Amino acid sequence: MTALLGVMLLALSPPAAQAVEWDQNILKIGVLEEPKSLNLWLAGDAWSNHVLQLFYQQLYVNRPGDLKKVPWLATGDPQYDPQTLSYTVDLRPARWSDGSPFTAHDVVFTGQLIQKFKVPRFYSLWSFVKSIEAVGDHQVRFVLNRPDASFTARTLATPLVQKTQWEPIVKQCLATKKPLASLLRVSLDHPASSGPFVLKSWRRGVFLHLERNPHFFGQGLSLDGRPLGPHIEGIVFKVYGTSDAAILALRKGSIDFYWNNVQPGYLRDIAGDPAIQVFRNQKSALYFMGFNLRRPPFDDLALRRAVAMLVDKRFIVTRVLQNAGEVMSALVPAGNAFYHLDQVAPYDQELTRGQRVQKAYEILTEAGYTWKTRPMDHAGRVQTCSCLLRPDGSEVPPLTILTPPADYDPQRAMSGMMIQEWLGQVGIMAAARPMAFGAMLEKVKGHHDYDAFVLGYGNLSLDPAWVSAFFVSKNAGKSGWNMSGYHDPQFDALAEKAAKTLDPEQRRDLVLQMQRMVQRDVPFLPLYNPLLVEAARNDRFQGWVPMVGGIGNLWSLCQLRPSGAPAAEVR
């Protein structure tokens, strides 16, 4: 007993003196989870990307605002030679964190590594690159197999690794039986960084300590009108594990920024605190309901449209998302303004529940559907109905809506539940069925054995190549991206054209056309695009840069400076 008391007393006395100097000018960021790995080739999760994007830099990056690609490690736009199908990129004289120069050989090495190992998540961007060569130390030439719009948009945004660090590792991996597996299992203690920060120490599960990279090219540089720093000495990523702990830490000032979405419930708690600023930014995300067009009942366009009419996206956004989101009418989210289709689909007008049922009823009646008891009485009032009958007189069988489980995404699971209720209003017996993510993908992508599902992509690339990938006929096979089995020759033609079109304006036009087709045929019903709500303290640091994807971005961390420090000061 006394032992217990002793421990409690010991523990109750607050730990060591508070006045410490070490964290002067060090930004403290709260994260929910630690990076899974600092091996660029393995890490696919958001938490790893938070850190890795500060180490491995790209040739071009999107700038805040219009999201246009601007040169980063490159200087000037890539030079395209249509004759040879080649791009030439000039490099900035930059240095790695160990002081060695960043050269064209690093770029070549990275590209070849991806091609050699077929590194997942990168290879598809490099598979159409025929050759990569260094023209001198500061110029790279890429030769393509075919013109592809995603080259400039995505391939050139590949993070680049240091050749001297990775070359021996690659050699070792190639010598093993399973080179890719070996590559993914490499763990680097000190990844060489060409970015603003470099790893100092990492205590797994607790914190990562990053310090300013003295060799970062951006120091003192003003890029796109933005004075780059970094103006802070370092960053500590603190792992909290639960959002309640992180929010509490933010309130107490133990962290300056919580790099994650703030759940609506906490907003009221932090709203009254003048030291905390809340940012709302759009995401490049798509949350949608998908239909199986390969089999009844959703092979029928009228039924899909009726369902689209019944789904009250506004309700989902205000209630389920607590207003932290926007209704989505077309595939490309509004944040990605360039490719966004600004045209509201007929079912996305503001309608009351009754009106929605009424309209769905009309659509179905027109298509020849009947009921045992109709959903509207003769006076046009909604009534409980039963048993939707197809034009051929057969019953629409009970169907299931697959959703991710609540632990993975409670909002989608909840949306599924609501949709189930709404469909019931016109006599469609639907049951939302939450399913482990893998199992659900297996059913949807692997076996095409489903009626409808609710899914989402939280971090879509800004280049809309995926719009075509989701619906072209050639992707409709097993495990292909065309999950709903949409098939339209006109769409296929548009998609093919778009892939080869390098002119942005023309390409945009094609992408918008494709989106219109999807709006018309409803293979997917876009539901909502959540807003990213983030909170940061303004008492120690200022200068957050809002952009799509939130304030936690490379620009912010390069520009952030201690409160009170003159903005013009350039080191």
Partner 1 sequence: MARYVAGRLAQIVVILFMIVTILFVLFRLAPGDPVSRMVDPSLSPEEAANLIAQLGLDKPIGQQYLQYLQNFVKGNFGHSFHYGLPVGQVIMAKLPNTILLFTTAMVLSALAGIAWGKVAAWKKGLGTDTALTVAALVTHTLFLPWLALLVIWIFGYKLDWLPINGMISAEVWLDPMSGPVDKALDVAYHMVLPLATLFIMHFGSYLLVMRSSMLQTLREDYIITARAKGLTEREIRNHHAAPNAWLPVITSVGLSLAFSINGGALTETVFSWPGIGRELVMAVSQNDYPLAQASFLLIAMVVLFANLVVDLLYAFFDPRIRY
Partner 2 sequence: MSAEPQTASQATPRRRSPWRERFREDWLVFNHNPLGRAGLILLSVFGVMALLSFLPPLIDPMYHPMTGVDPQVLYSEGPSARHWLGTDFMGRDILSQLLAGTRVAFMVGVSAAFMSIVLGVSIGMVAGYAGGIIDTLLMRLAEIIMVLPTLLVVLMLSALFGKLNIWTIVLLIALFRWPGVSRVIRAQTLSLKSRPFIDAARVAGASHTRIVFRHIMPNVLPLAFLYMTFRVTAAIVIEAALAFLGFGDPSTVSWGMMLQWVWKTGHMFQAPYWLFPPGLCISLITLSFYLLGRAMDEVLDPRLREENGTV
Sites of contact with partner 2 (CB under 8 A): 243-244, 247-248, 262-269, 318-320, 322-323, 403, 405-408, 410, 413-414, 416-418, 421, 431-432, 434-436, 438-440
Least CB distance to partner 2 at residue 414 (A): 7
Least CB distance to partner 1 at residue 490 (A): 24
Of these partners, partner 2, partner 1, none, which one is at the site of residue 179 (CB under 5 to 8 Å by kind)? Answer: partner 1
Q: Is residue 539 within 8 Å of residue 563, measured between CB atoms?
A: yes
End-to-end CA distance of the chain: 58
DSSP 245-269: HHHHHHHHTS-SEE-SPPPHHHHHH
Of these partners, partner 1, partner 2, none, which one is at the site of residue 39 (CB under 5 to 8 Å by kind)? Answer: partner 1
Of these partners, partner 2, partner 1, none, which one is at the site of residue 14 (CB under 5 to 8 Å by kind)? Answer: partner 1
Q: Is residue 57 within 8 Å of residue 134, measured between CB atoms?
A: no
Q: Is residue 367 within 8 Å of residue 359, measured between CB atoms?
A: no
Tokens coding 279:
């940012």
Of these partners, partner 1, partner 2, none, which one is at the site of residue 190 (CB under 5 to 8 Å by kind)? Answer: none
Least CB distance to partner 1 at residue 310 (A): 28
Please, which residue, 46 or 245, has the CB nearer to partner 2? 245
- Residues in touch with partner 1 (CB under 8 A): 1, 3-4, 7-8, 10-16, 20, 22-23, 28, 36-37, 39, 42, 44-45, 118, 120-121, 123-124, 127, 178-181, 184-187, 201, 203-207, 209, 236, 238-242, 244-245, 248, 252, 254, 407-408, 436-443, 445-446, 457, 479-481
Least CB distance to partner 1 at residue 211 (A): 11
Please, which residue, 117 or 422, has the CB nearer to partner 1? 117
Of these partners, partner 1, partner 2, none, which one is at the site of residue 264 (CB under 5 to 8 Å by kind)? Answer: partner 2
The SS3 assignment for 61 reads strand
Of these partners, partner 1, partner 2, none, which one is at the site of residue 252 (CB under 5 to 8 Å by kind)? Answer: partner 1
* Strand residue runs (E) in 213-303: 222-223, 226-227, 234-239, 257-258, 276-282, 286-291
Least CB distance to partner 2 at residue 322 (A): 6
Q: CA 518 to CA 506: how far, in whole Å? A: 19
Least CB distance to partner 2 at residue 269 (A): 5
CB atoms within 10 A of CB 500: 11
Least CB distance to partner 2 at residue 504 (A): 40
Of these partners, partner 1, partner 2, none, which one is at the site of residue 418 (CB under 5 to 8 Å by kind)? Answer: partner 2
CA 512 to chain centre: 21
Least CB distance to partner 1 at residue 252 (A): 7
Of these partners, partner 2, partner 1, none, which one is at the site of residue 83 (CB under 5 to 8 Å by kind)? Answer: none
**How many residues are present in the chain?**
571
Q: Which residues, 6+ apart, have CB-to-CB distance to 8 below 8 Å?
A: none
Of these partners, partner 1, partner 2, none, which one is at the site of residue 497 (CB under 5 to 8 Å by kind)? Answer: none
Least CB distance to partner 1 at residue 174 (A): 13
Of these partners, partner 1, partner 2, none, which one is at the site of residue 204 (CB under 5 to 8 Å by kind)? Answer: partner 1
Q: Is residue 269 within 8 Å of residue 247, measured between CB atoms?
A: yes
Least CB distance to partner 2 at residue 451 (A): 16
Q: Is residue 544 within 8 Å of residue 553, measured between CB atoms?
A: no
Please, which residue, 395 or 407, has the CB nearer to partner 1? 407
- CA torsion 455-461-462-463 (nearest 10°) is -110
Please, which residue, 202 or 339, has the CB nearer to partner 1? 202
Q: CA 548 to CA 61: how far, in whole Å? A: 13
Please state whether 241 falls in left (phi above 0), alpha (psi between -120 and 50) or beta: left
Q: CA 316 to CA 553: how far, in whole Å? A: 28
Please, which residue, 206 or 271, has the CB nearer to partner 1? 206
Please, which residue, 80 or 408, has the CB nearer to partner 2? 408
Of these partners, partner 1, partner 2, none, which one is at the site of residue 91 (CB under 5 to 8 Å by kind)? Answer: none
Least CB distance to partner 2 at residue 323 (A): 8
Closest by alpha carbon to 233, among 196, 278, 271? 196
CA distances from 337 to 227, 445, 550, 555 (A): 25, 30, 16, 20
Q: Which residues, 6+ apart, have CB-to-CB distance to 312 below 8 Å?
A: 351, 353, 356, 418, 422
Please, which residue, 11 or 568, has the CB nearer to partner 1? 11
Q: CA 465 to CA 455: how far, in whole Å? A: 19
The SS3 assignment for 371 reads strand
Please, which residue, 315 or 457, has the CB nearer to partner 1? 457
